[in-house]
Chain A
Amino acid sequence: MPSQDTVRTDSDALSGTGQARAPLLQIRSLEVRFGSETALQPIDLDVLDGEFLTIVGPSGSGKTTLLRVIAGFQVPSAGRIEFEGHDILNTPINARPFNTVFQDYALFPHMTVRGNVSFGLKVRGVKRNQIEEDVDRVLEIVGLLQLGNRYPAQLSGGQQQRTALARAMICQPRLILLDEPLAALDATMRQQMQSFLKSVQRKSGITFLFVTHDQSEAITMSDRICVLNTGAIMQIGEPRQLYYRPANRFVASFFGDSNLIEPCRVTEHAGRFARISTPVGQFEVQCDIPDRTQGLVLTVRPEAFVAAGDDHSNIIDFEVVAVNFVGSETVTRLRHASLPDIITMKSKSASGARPPAVGSQIRVGFDKDQCSLVPAAEHGS
């Protein structure tokens, strides 16, 4: 894994937003074991003030465990969590300035929407008229002002979700932890809630730590993404960086349909330029070159392949397996005798274009800076 400093420099260069934010939360060597099972390997992570940070990974990757440790529901086996410079591991849950939106929302069934939302203020002994004022304000933000007197059972999934968010926001926490809050919603509602959550976060300026297993959700919503797999951080960075510059094979295959060509080895190397040898030919690449010459994977995004590119330095001859016209783009599946997997190419559809025939040979090229070279193993060998 690259150090965080290099990650941030890279992302700044990619996105053009270079403002340095202070870390709100500093997680150091945090480790969680359940008996002999390791849920989280020692990890370091900074959560920056005001950012939308998504923790993404397949199930069992430890992302919910990490969230629960930060919230205080789970005691770590080792490590530290500092909130603005102070260790908070011994701070009880109800004294941490964080609030959680639970996966099942955990709305109190015997309380109305207003009752649920006001709970955090009520237990703090806030005065009645102040509570009413704050509840109105937060319900206004989430668009539930009209439904304040309904019970959770009388709300739709999206409305329950908004109630849970309002309830978490009302105490003005420094950090809101969201544990797969959109998992229970249908596709349409999920998309609406994605942009809604993002806009609420931007307007309120509260730091969001969002956990999901859905890579497209992570890419759409986040300022930064932390990719977890088997309890270890695979990469931290901005969405574009993870997509175009994966740090390793796992990240490359986790985001989008990546084409993986392996095994590769570097034959010539100068700065960000390298000549590599792959099962499908010799290529030139212009990207971050790992500090090893063997055991590498070349990843090329489907949209980076261009048909019939004799002018490209990197050319592969494929056999066409299938051509799928999906409106704005055409997806072509390609096979090469030396590759176990089918290669995917996505190109913009054009009305005059004739798609290649299935079974025919096709010459495909890609630019040397439209690919990345990553280690095959996730952890340095």
Chain B
Amino acid sequence: MKPGRLRDILLGSTTVAVFVLLYLPILLVFVLSFFSMRRGRINWQSFSVDWYVRLFENEALGAALYKSLVVGLLAVAGATVFATLVALYVNSARASRLSKSIEYVIYLPFLLPPIITGLSLLIMFRELDVPRGLFTITVGHAVFVLAIVYRIILTRLKALSGTLVEAAHDLGASRLQTFRYIILPNLRTPLLTAGLLAFALSFDETMITLFLTGAEATLPVRLYAMMRVGFTPEINALVTLVLGFSIVLTIVVALTWRNTTGLEGHSSRSSGQ
């Protein structure tokens, strides 16, 4: 056997092993949300959507899912507005040495171990006498996803030619008009991407949430709590639904990226004419 062929086989089988390891558990969950198990074997005759029906009847899980969505949307909205403002400042000509410090401050909560971020927020809220609940969770998530949103928006702002803003002023636009007509339209794609990514991060964030949660739990916290009493099979249905939702999100993100790069590809072709 040629050494090259051996290498191909080794590489190939490793790849297959990695994929099996990555996706078999997910596939199993998917299968188990429709079929029941008997003596360690899947009973293929037992197809039903019972677990889905049970899931929708489980008000505790439903409420947790709802809270996760609310927290995600609010945290993303807050982080996006704040990150955009900071990015606009850092990218502006007036930003000084301060901008480097701002960057570190924004990245820190994302880079620190979540246990530190979570604990610090908990201590702060306790000292401020803020009761733990949806509000504290939302603030925690916003702080956590800020770095991602900020990075994506700043990258796009930096790529935007600085003379675009000068050109807008030159043509008589006020600052507000420049933002409204020139900057914002060029931020549409990065805002969407950053929002989706931040939402996904917020949706499965557990550690910080554990510190900040009160009586109301988000979905990951609820699942974490359920682990102690043991899972019921409707968890499989839930995971499958969340998985499906995530896949849809990923496809949307991929499509928006492809559309932007597609435009760039077009520009490089036509500029050669």
Please list the residues of chain A having a beta carbon within 8 angstroms of any beta carbon in chain B.
71-73, 92-95, 98-100, 102-104, 106-110, 119-120, 122-124, 152-157, 167-168, 171
Contacts and interface: CB of A to CB of B under 8 A. Distances in A.
Contacts of A100: 166-167, 170
B45 interface: no
B271 A156 contact: yes
A106 B164 contact: yes
B100 interface: no
Contacts of B264: 153
Interface stretch (B18-26, B171-179, B194-202, B236-244): B171-179
B266 A123 contact: no
Contact of A154 (B169, B171, B174, B266): B266
A123 B166 contact: no
A119 B168 contact: yes
A304 B164 CA distance: 48
B167 A108 contact: yes
Contacts of B172: 94-95, 120, 123-124, 171
B267 A154 contact: yes
Contacts of B182: 108
Given A99-B170, A123-B171, A153-B263, 13 more contacts: A95-B172, A100-B167, A104-B161, A104-B163, A108-B164, A109-B186, A110-B185, A120-B172, A123-B181, A153-B266, A154-B266, A155-B271, A156-B271
Contacts of A92: 169
Given A153-B263, A153-B270, A119 B171 contact: yes
Nearest to B180: A123
Contacts of B273: 156
A71 B168 CA distance: 12
A153 B267 contact: yes
Main secondary structure of the interface of B (DSSP, over half): helix
Contact of B166 (A73, A155, A171): A73
Closest 3 CB pairs of A and B: A153-B267, A106-B163, A106-B167
A110 B156 CA distance: 14
A94 B174 contact: yes
Contact of A71 (B161, B170, B263, B267): B170
A153 B169 contact: no
Contacts of A110: 185-186
A192 to B, nearest CB: 15
Contacts of A94: 169-174
B200 to A, nearest CB: 27
Nearest to A160: B271
Contacts of A167: 171
Contacts of A153: 263-264, 266-267, 270-271
Nearest to A167: B171
Given A119-B181, A153-B266, A155-B270, A106 B166 contact: yes
A93 B173 CA distance: 9
Contacts of A107: 167
Contacts of B169: 72, 92-94
Given A104-B163, A108-B164, A110-B186, A123 B270 contact: no
15 contacts: A72-B169, A72-B170, A94-B170, A94-B171, A98-B170, A99-B170, A99-B171, A103-B163, A109-B186, A110-B185, A119-B173, A123-B172, A123-B173, A152-B267, A154-B267
A156 B267 CA distance: 10
Nearest to B270: A154
A102 B163 contact: yes
A93 B178 CA distance: 13
A302 to B, nearest CB: 38
Nearest to B175: A94
A154 B174 CA distance: 28
B163 A123 contact: no
Nearest to A117: B171
Interface string B178-220: 0001100110000000000000000000000000000000000
A120 B170 CA distance: 9
A73 B162 CA distance: 12
Nearest to A95: B172
Contacts of B170: 71-73, 93-94, 98-100
A73 B168 CA distance: 12
Contacts of A124: 172
Contact of A157 (B166, B167, B181, B271): B271
A76 B130 CA distance: 52
Contacts of A103: 163
A123 B186 contact: no
B19 to A, nearest CB: 39
Nearest to B164: A106
A324 to B, nearest CB: 35
- Max count, chain B CB within 10 A of own CB: residue among A102, A106, A156: A106
A363 B263 CA distance: 65
Contacts of A99: 170-171
A94 to B, nearest CB: 5
A103 to B, nearest CB: 8
B181 to A, nearest CB: 7
A102 B185 contact: no
A94 B174 CA distance: 7
B52 to A, nearest CB: 43
Contacts of A152: 267
Interface in B206-254: none
A219 B170 CA distance: 28
A296 B159 CA distance: 51
A171 B170 CA distance: 11
Contacts of B270: 153-156
